[in-house]
Amino acid sequence: VVGKTGVHSQATLLQATGFQLPGFPSAGSWVSHALGSESDNLPSFVVLPD
């Protein structure tokens, strides 16, 4: 089985059902939502693809 995700919960769902749900928010998005951003000109977090 080959998947394009490194997230354990998404990989488990893909392995068990063969279905991949896109759009799970990352931990960075939750932290930036809770704490806000230090700068208006820079993103609060960056995601690097696998």
What is the pLDDT at residue 1? 61
- Contact in structure between 10 and 24 (CB atoms under 8 Å): yes
- Contact in structure between 42 and 29 (CB atoms under 8 Å): no
Q: Render pLDDT for 8-32 as a digit per residue (tens, 0 to 9).
A: 777 888 888 888 777 667 788 888 8
Query: CA–CA separation, 40 vs 7, rounded Å?
Result: 29
**Cβ atoms within 10 Å, residue 3:** 13
- Per DSSP, helices labelled H in 1-50 are 8-17, 27-35
Query: What predicted TM-score, i.e. pTM, was given to this entire model?
Result: 0.41
What is the pLDDT at residue 11? 81
